[in-house]
Amino acid sequence: MIKKAIFPVAGLGTRFLPASKSIPKEMVTVVDRPVIDYVVNEAVQAGIEQIIFITHSSKDSIENYFDHNFELETMLENKNKLDLLEEVKKVILANVSIVSVRQSRPLGLGHAVLCAKHIIGNEPFAVLLPDVLVKENSTENDLARMIQRFNSSKTAQIMVEAVPDHLVDQYGVVDVETVPNEGKSVVMRGIVEKPAVDKAPSNLSVVGRYVLPAKIMQLLEQTPKGAGNEIQLTDAIAALQKLENVEAYRMKGQTFDCGSKSGYLKAVLHYGIEHPILGDEFKRMIRELSL
Ligand code: G1P
Neighbours of 138 (CB within 10 A): 10
Judged against a pLDDT cut of 70, whether residue 277 lies above it is answered with yes
What is the mean pLDDT of the segment spanning 17-24?
87
Determine the distance separating the centroid of ligand 1 and the alpha carbon of 200, expressed in angstroms: 15
User: In this structure, are residues 250 and 160 in contact, taking their beta carbons and an 8 Å threshold?
Assistant: yes
Q: What is the pLDDT of residues 94-113, one digit of tens each?
A: 889 999 999 988 899 999 99
∠ CA 208-212-218, rounded to 5°: 115
Protein residue whose Cα sits closest to atom 14 of ligand 1: 171
248 lines ligand 1 (CB under 6 A): no
Determine the distance separating the centroid of ligand 1 and the alpha carbon of 249, expressed in angstroms: 16
- Percent of the chain residues topping a pLDDT of 90: 85
171 lines ligand 1 (CB under 6 A): yes
Judged against a pLDDT cut of 80, whether residue 133 lies above it is answered with yes
What is the mean pLDDT of the segment spanning 37-53?
96
Q: How confident is the model at residue 291, as a pLDDT?
A: 63
206 lines ligand 1 (CB under 6 A): yes
200 lines ligand 1 (CB under 6 A): no
Q: What is the pLDDT of residues 203-239, one digit of tens each?
A: 999 999 999 999 999 999 999 999 989 999 999 999 9
Between the alpha carbon of residue 257 and those of residues 14, 50, 53, 143, 227, the distances in Å are 14, 24, 19, 17, 20
Between the alpha carbon of residue 66 and those of residues 34, 69, 252, 256, the distances in Å are 11, 9, 28, 23
3-class SS of residue 128: strand
User: In this structure, are residues 172 and 283 in contact, taking their beta carbons and an 8 Å threshold?
Assistant: no
The residue extents of the domains of the chain are 4-290
Determine the distance separating the centroid of ligand 1 and the alpha carbon of 280, expressed in angstroms: 34
Neighbours of 121 (CB within 10 A): 11
Determine the distance separating the centroid of ligand 1 and the alpha carbon of 70, expressed in angstroms: 37
172 lines ligand 1 (CB under 6 A): yes
Q: Where are the alpha helices (DSSP H) in 66-207?
A: 70-78, 82-90, 109-114, 117-120, 142-153
Q: How confident is the model at residue 290, as a pLDDT?
A: 76
The full length of the chain comes to: 291
What is the mean pLDDT of the segment spanning 113-142?
93
Q: What is the pLDDT of residues 156-211, one digit of tens each?
A: 999 999 999 999 999 999 999 999 999 999 999 999 999 999 999 999 999 999 99
Determine the distance separating the centroid of ligand 1 and the alpha carbon of 271, expressed in angstroms: 23
Q: What is the pLDDT of residues 55-79, one digit of tens each?
A: 999 999 999 999 999 999 999 999 9
CATH superfamily membership of 4-290:
Spore Coat Polysaccharide Biosynthesis Protein SpsA; Chain A (3.90.550.10)
